[in-house]
Amino acid sequence: MHNAVRKEWERQAGETARAFQAFLCYLETRSHKLTAQLTGHPLSRVYHWSTKHKWQARACAYDAYTFEQQRAESNRILHQAVPLALQRLIHLLERGDDLPPQLQVKVADCILRYSWLKGAETAQEAGKEALDPFTANLLQIQQLALEHLRTAKATEGVE
Q: How far apart are CA 53 and CA 56, in angstroms?
A: 9
Q: How far apart are CA 77 and CA 109, in angstroms?
A: 24
pLDDT of residue 82: 62
Q: Judge whether 103 and 152 are in contact, CB under 8 Å.
A: no
Mean pLDDT of the chain: 77
Q: Judge whether 115 and 77 are in contact, CB under 8 Å.
A: no
Mean pLDDT for the stretch of residues 29-33: 97
pLDDT of residue 73: 86
Which DSSP helix (H) or strand (E) runs through 37? Answer: helix 32-39
Q: How far apart are CA 70 and CA 31, in angstroms?
A: 24
> Residue ranges per domain, the chain?
1-69, 70-156
10: pLDDT strictly greater than 70 = yes
Which pLDDT tens digit goes with each residue over 87-124?
Answer: 777 777 677 666 677 776 666 666 655 555 555 454 44
pTM: 0.53
